[in-house]
Amino acid sequence: MFGNFVPPHGWIPDDSRTTSAGNPVGAQANLSGAGGLTLPDLCPYLDVSGHLTNGRFCMSIFGTIMSAIFGKAKAEGAAPAAGTTASPPTAPAAGAPAGPPVDVEAVVAGIAATKKEKLDWRKSIVDLMKVLDLDSSLTARKQLAQELGYKGELNGSAEMNIWLHKAVMKKLAENGGKVPADLKD
């Protein structure tokens, strides 16, 4: 799933760990210098190929959302979003999948259709996360809010949740997803 792993925007290593050299993991890590860190130094639950070990995960919440949607589209060989061609964009955004935009609405609606519970993923960040089989707890939403730059109180309020849903949809669009305007506004 994570061959040629490139951490997505917002990827957060667990700063409580240390590298194999005993140095703290974090923003000051230098991957390019002599004796640079390896992927397992940044996330010891991934092997050098980017495969998960020990059932742990070090990707950001948003990265997990993006992987769930874009990975599903790729796995199903999803057709390009309506009105697009099959040729890749000339300069995709960092972290954006190669190829045509992924129709986020169609992918998520398809996943939602398989769920027994009726979930209002078009309006609710909690329901969107449930559709994608992700942790939708307040703790997870607080982390997502911090990743995406929410400036309000991290209290799970309707304001925070509405902001999160719109921010996630905008971010998906920035990273190669086709998202209807009504889901971003």
Per-residue confidence band for 89, with pLDDT thresholds at 50, 70 and 90: very low
Q: Which pLDDT does position 71 carry in this prediction?
A: 87
34-60: average pLDDT: 46
pLDDT digits (tens, 9 = 90+) for 111-134: 999 999 999 999 999 999 999 999
Predicted TM-score of the model (pTM): 0.62
Nearest to 121 by CA among 136, 134, 108, 133: 108
* 30-34, 86-90, 110-114, 144-148: range with lowest mean pLDDT: 30-34
3-state secondary structure 109-158: HHHHHCCCCCCCCCCCHHHHHHHCCCCCCHHHHHHHHHHHCCCCCCCCCH
pLDDT digits (tens, 9 = 90+) for 155-164: 999 999 999 9
Rounded distance between C-alpha atoms, residue 102 and residue 105, angstroms: 9
Per-residue confidence band for 185, with pLDDT thresholds at 50, 70 and 90: confident
Q: Which pLDDT does position 4 carry in this prediction?
A: 43
96-120: average pLDDT: 89
Rounded distance between C-alpha atoms, residue 137 and residue 154, angstroms: 12
Q: Which pLDDT does position 116 carry in this prediction?
A: 94
Residue with the bigger pLDDT between 35 and 141: it is 141
SS3 content of the chain, % helix, strand, coil (to 5): 35, 5, 60
Rounded distance between C-alpha atoms, residue 81 and residue 86, angstroms: 9
Domain ranges of the chain: 1-59, 61-184
* 39-43, 54-58, 59-63, 165-169: range with lowest mean pLDDT: 39-43
Residue with the bigger pLDDT between 102 and 77: it is 102
Q: Which pLDDT does position 127 carry in this prediction?
A: 97
45-72: average pLDDT: 68
